Chains A and B, each alone.
Chain A
Amino acid sequence: MNWKRTLGLDNLSEEYAFARDESTGYTSAKKIPDHWVPTTCGYCSVGCGIEIGVKDGRAIASRPFELHPVNRGKLCPKGLSEHYTIHAENRAKYPMLRKGGKLVRVSWDEALDVMVERFRATQAKYGAGSLGVLSTGQLVTEEFYTLGKLVQLGFGTNNYDGNTTLCMASAVSGYKISFGSDGPPGAYDDLERADVILLVGANLADNHPILCQYLEANRNKALIVADPRVSKTAMMADIHLPLKPRSDLALLNGIAHVLIRYNLVDREYIDKHTAGFAELERFLDAYTPERVAEITGLTQETIFKTALLYGRAKAGFIGWTMGVNHSTLGTATVNAICNLALLTGHIGRAGASPFSITGQCNAMGTREAGFTSSLPGYRKFDNAADRAELAAIWGVDESRLPAKRGWAYPDIVEAAVAKKIRALWIIATNPLVSYPNQDVLRHGLSNLDFLVVQDGYHPTPTTELADLVLPAAIWGEKEGTYTNSERRVSKVNKAVQPIDEARSDFDIFLAVAEKLGCRDELYPEWTTVEDAFNEWRRVSKGRLCDYSGISYGLLAEHGAVQWPLAEGADPNRTSRLYSDGEFQTPDGRAKLVCTDWAPFPEQPTRSYPFVLNTGRTVEHWHTRTKTREVPILERLSPRAWLEMNPRDAKGLGLHSHDSVDVVSRRGRVRGVELRLTEITAPGQVFMPFHFAETNVNEVTQDAFDPISREPNYKQCAVRVERPGANV
Chain B
Amino acid sequence: MTTLPLMESALLSTAARSLVQIEGEPTPLIPARLLEAGEQYRFHFDMTKCIGCKCCVVACNEQNGNPAALNWRRVGEVEGGYYPYAQRYHLSMGCNHCLEPSCLIGCPVEAYTKDANTGVVLHSADTCIGCQYCTWNCSYGVPQYNAERGVVGKCDMCHNRLDDGMAPACVSACPEGAIAIEIVNVAEWRQDYLSANAPGLPSADDSISTTRVTLPKNLVPDTGRVDLQRVKPEHPHWPLVFMLVLTQLSVGAFAVLWLLDMLGRGTGLTIAALASLGFAGISLGASTLHLGRPIYAWRALKGLRRSWLSREVLTLSLFAGAASAFAGMLWLDLPGRGFVGLLTFVAGFAGVTCSARIYIVPARPAWFSGYTIAEFYSSALLLGPLFVQMVEGQVPSWVRFAAIAGAASQLITQLLKFLWESRSDVFELRASSLLLSGRLQNLFVTRLAVLAVAGVVLPLIATHGSIVVTAFGAALAGEWLGRYLFFVSVVSKNIAAAFTSGERRAA
Which A residues are closer than 8 A to B by beta carbons?
5-9, 11-13, 15-16, 18, 20, 25-31, 61, 73-77, 80-81, 195-196, 205, 209-210, 212-213, 216, 219-223, 230, 232, 235-236, 238-240, 242, 261-263, 301, 304-305, 308-309, 312-313, 618-619, 631-639, 641, 645, 655-657, 673, 675, 677-682
Contact = CB atoms under 8 A, between A and B. Distances in A.
A703 B415 CA distance: 60
B203 interface: no
Q: What are the nearest 8 A-B pairs in CB distance?
A: A8-B293, A28-B65, A242-B84, A631-B68, A678-B86, A222-B16, A26-B160, A74-B175
B2 interface: yes
Contacts, number: 217
7 contacts: A26-B160, A61-B62, A212-B175, A221-B20, A631-B67, A638-B502, A679-B79
Contacts of B19: 222, 238-239
Nearest to B4: A262
Nearest to B500: A641
Contacts of A312: 12, 15-16
A195 B20 CA distance: 11
| Most central of B61, B160, B173, B500 by chain A CB within 10 Å | B500
B59 interface: yes
A632 B23 contact: no
B346 interface: no
A219 B22 contact: yes
A74 B16 contact: no
B454 to A, nearest CB: 37
Contact of A209 (B53, B86, B158): B53
Nearest to A29: B65
B58 A81 contact: yes
B193 interface: no
Contact of A30 (B20, B51, B65, B82): B65
Contact of A216 (B49, B160, B229): B49
Contact of A232 (B52, B62, B503): B52
B501 A9 contact: no
Contacts of B22: 219-220
A213 B89 CA distance: 18
Contacts of B499: 641, 656, 675
Interface in B72-100: 75, 79, 81-84, 86-89
Nearest to B84: A242
A220 B17 CA distance: 6
A619 B54 contact: yes
B57 A210 contact: no
B189 to A, nearest CB: 27
Nearest to A656: B229
Nearest to A310: B16
Interface string B142-177: 000000111101000010110110100100111111
A209 B176 CA distance: 9
Interface in B168-191: 169, 172-177
Given A8-B150, A8-B295, A220-B22, A263 B2 contact: yes
Interface stretch (B124-132, B266-274, B275-283): B124-132
Contact of A618 (B52, B63, B125): B52
Given A219-B23, A235-B87, A631-B67, A195 B62 contact: no
Contacts of A196: 16
B64 interface: yes
Contacts of A26: 158, 160-161, 163-164, 166
Contact of B51 (A18, A205, A678): A205
Given A222-B16, A635-B502, A8 B166 contact: no
Contacts of B31: none
B11 A222 contact: no
In this complex, the member of A30, A639, A673, A679 whose beta carbon has the largest number of chain B beta carbons within 10 angstroms is A679
B291 interface: yes
Nearest to A194: B16
B23 A81 contact: no
B72 to A, nearest CB: 12
Contacts of A31: 62-63, 65
B34 interface: no
A639 B52 CA distance: 17
Contacts of B173: 74-75, 80
Contacts of B502: 635, 638
B382 to A, nearest CB: 35
B433 to A, nearest CB: 18
Contacts of B69: 635
